Amino acid sequence: MTPARRWASLAVLSASLLVVTMDLTVLNVALPELAADLRPSATEQLWIVDSYSLVLAGLLIPMSALADRWGRKRLLLLGFVVFGAASAVVVLADSPWQVVATRSLLGAGGAMIMPTTLSLLRSVFTDPAERATALGVWAAVSALGAAIGPIAGGLLLEHFSWHAAFLVNVPLMVAAVVAGALILPEARAASAAPWDLPSVGLSIVGMVGLVWAVKRFADEETFADALGWAALVGALLLLATFVRRCLDRAEPLLDVRLFGRRPFTAGVVAALMAMFAMAAILLLLAQWLQLVEGHSPLEAGVRLLPLAGGGLVASLLASPLATLVGARAVLACGLGIAGVGALLLPVLPGDLGYPTVAVAMALVGAGAGSLAIGSAMIMAGTPPDKAGSAAAIEETAYDLGSVLGVAVLGSVASVVYRDHLATGPLVAAGLPAEAARAAEDSLGGAVDVAATVGAPAPALADQAAAAFTDALVDTSLVAGLVMVAVAVVVWLTAPRGLDITQQQH
């Protein structure tokens, strides 16, 4: 490929990531209005948030394997079509479970797009140094999507219903289909393994079961749930069987032997645990800005810009910095900086205000930007024919980390919120018991109750805002400690003197 076509291909592949990232952040901004319109229960709201990731997690491995056989460009273009169609269909949704179904379809489209984008990058940029730069641009576009999504969604929500927030994907997907068909090269694995249906079934059921079990514990807010444990044990057994089957086959559906490469393992661990910590913080911050600080969706989107700005700058600087001080130092220090950013919320004295939050978001975003080096480490340690497996594993780490973070840290936030929201005295003062239960379900429920019920509703609104702020602070403490610990693990795992401009063997 000519240099011009390589960089044009990067533009198309980055644009597809831009759309997926925008969709995730748009939901964060649209969720309060969606909840006010459809009145989902706490469980339904979790499913609205997580259904996309659950389907994505189940299909990433099979779709990546299909792309290696059928053609990565073909599957990517089909993913564009599915994602765009699902984004258009969401305008017809008028119940929580219809939104869940539509988000599931978006997850199927995302499963076709995300690993294929990475594996095509590996095919297009064969020179490791050039690929490291391309991955930095790719990550920067992701940060740009995090910035554009809330603002575009906020602009639409200023004038239209929450349905319109998802329509921004449609014209972008149409453009991506046309540009991709004209610019992208086709690529397949040179020696793709025979299609292994038992492995496909094991990977889908195992991953979906694992995510469902985690969600079950989060929904029930207890580990004393027999059904949750049964699902978790069953999922782990299925995934263990899948891994054993892959190890026993000369040409497996997913090459799990890649974990024998230390750069690969370090990059995957960084992606998994960084998303675990960051996904819940972003979701909570979007709600805090709207429901506690009282900003409109557009204003909330603008106030989320420091997160994207930190990620944009760090992702562009990551590759040059890695050349100067080493990939291991950049990735580990980036995760440590993100951890420090999250820890600012619980550590700094005084009431929580936006200036503190803005600085914290910029630092967390900078840590997310350093994950571009994690991607370069993964791809530099992967042979060309294994690019599909590497991409599937990396994207599974991102998705699984996000789901686990929202479920586990979201549950921590819910427990703190309910513990700090003392509705007993308000019920005694005349607040209906049903209204108190709705307020305990979520901050959105408390705001809705305060707007529709008389005295003592104002006291309820103030208490709910304070309880949610406490939940945000305590959750940030847990997330920050996790990211600092992961920074240490990455430092110990990644090889000293690792050069991402050279292909590892």
Which carries the bigger pLDDT value, residue 240 or residue 190?
240
Question: Which residue, among 201, 157, 208, has the nearest Cα to 50 in the 3D structure?
Answer: 208
Are residues 363 and 319 both part of a single domain?
A: yes
* Mean pLDDT score of the chain: 83
Residue 107 forms part of a structural domain: yes
Are residues 47 and 77 both part of a single domain?
A: yes
- Most confidently modeled of 25-39, 70-84, 288-302? 70-84
Are residues 127 and 223 both part of a single domain?
A: no
Residue 77: pLDDT band with limits 50, 70, 90:
very high
C-alpha gyration radius of the chain:
22
Round to whole Å and give the CA distance between 93 and 90. 5
Are residues 205 and 335 both part of a single domain?
A: no
Are residues 242 and 344 both part of a single domain?
A: no
Percent of the chain residues topping a pLDDT of 70: 93
Contact 319, 139 (CB under 8 A): no
Are residues 374 and 328 both part of a single domain?
A: yes
- As for how many domains the chain has, the answer is 2
HSE at residue 276, side-chain half, CA atoms within 13 A, is 25
| Average pLDDT score over residue span 79-87 | 92
Round to whole Å and give the CA distance between 117 and 14. 8
- What integer pLDDT is reported at residue 481 of this predicted model? 94
Sign of CA dihedral 241, 244, 248, 253: positive
Round to whole Å and give the CA distance between 327 and 329. 6
HSE at residue 70, side-chain half, CA atoms within 13 A, is 15
Residue 152 forms part of a structural domain: yes
Cis status, amide bond into 456, omega within 30 of 0: yes
**pLDDT tens digit string along 375-386?**
888 887 677 777
* Domain membership of residue 337 as a residue range: 3-186+253-420+466-493
Residue 108: pLDDT band with limits 50, 70, 90:
very high
- What integer pLDDT is reported at residue 179 of this predicted model? 92
Q: Give me the CATH number covering residue 79.
A: 1.20.1250.20
- What integer pLDDT is reported at residue 435 of this predicted model? 72
Are residues 281 and 382 both part of a single domain?
A: yes
Round to whole Å and give the CA distance between 334 and 259. 22
Are residues 21 and 92 both part of a single domain?
A: yes
Residue 266 forms part of a structural domain: yes
Residue 221: pLDDT band with limits 50, 70, 90:
low
Residue 393 forms part of a structural domain: yes
Q: How many other CB atoms are there within 10 angstroms of residue 488's CB atom? A: 13
- What integer pLDDT is reported at residue 146 of this predicted model? 67
- What integer pLDDT is reported at residue 216 of this predicted model? 77
Orientation of helix 354-369 relative to helix 371-380, angle to 10°: 10
Orientation of helix 169-183 relative to helix 72-89, angle to 10°: 160
Model confidence at 75: pLDDT above 60: yes
Question: Which residue, among 276, 280, 274, 277, has the nearest Cα to 373 in the 3D structure?
Answer: 274
Residue 498 forms part of a structural domain: no
Q: Token digits for 33?
A: 């209005």
Are residues 302 and 361 both part of a single domain?
A: yes
Round to whole Å and give the CA distance between 269 and 256. 14
- What integer pLDDT is reported at residue 457 of this predicted model? 56
Are residues 277 and 287 both part of a single domain?
A: yes
Which carries the bigger pLDDT value, residue 385 or residue 8?
8
Residue type, 190: A
Residue 182 forms part of a structural domain: yes
Q: Final residue of a domain: which of 252, 271, 297? A: 252
- What integer pLDDT is reported at residue 454 of this predicted model? 59
**352: three-class secondary structure by DSSP:** coil
Round to whole Å and give the CA distance between 319 and 370. 9
Are residues 229 and 117 both part of a single domain?
A: no
Find where tokens 């840290």 sit: 409
Are residues 234 and 259 both part of a single domain?
A: no
Residue 80: pLDDT band with limits 50, 70, 90:
very high
- What integer pLDDT is reported at residue 238 of this predicted model? 95
Q: Final residue of a domain: which of 237, 252, 267? A: 252
Model confidence at 458: pLDDT above 80: no
pTM over 0.85: no
Residue type, 25: T
Percent of the chain residues topping a pLDDT of 90: 18
Q: Token digits for 456?
A: 């003592």
- Most confidently modeled of 72-76, 131-135, 319-323? 72-76
Contact 322, 500 (CB under 8 A): yes
- What integer pLDDT is reported at residue 333 of this predicted model? 92
CA distances from 484 to 18, 235, 258, 334 (A): 28, 29, 25, 10
Which of 207-216, 366-375, 378-387 is predicted least confidently? 378-387
DSSP classification of residue 349 = -
- What integer pLDDT is reported at residue 219 of this predicted model? 67
Residue 453: pLDDT band with limits 50, 70, 90:
low
Residue 24 forms part of a structural domain: yes
Residue 314 forms part of a structural domain: yes
Model confidence at 279: pLDDT above 60: yes
Q: Final residue of a domain: which of 206, 232, 252? A: 252
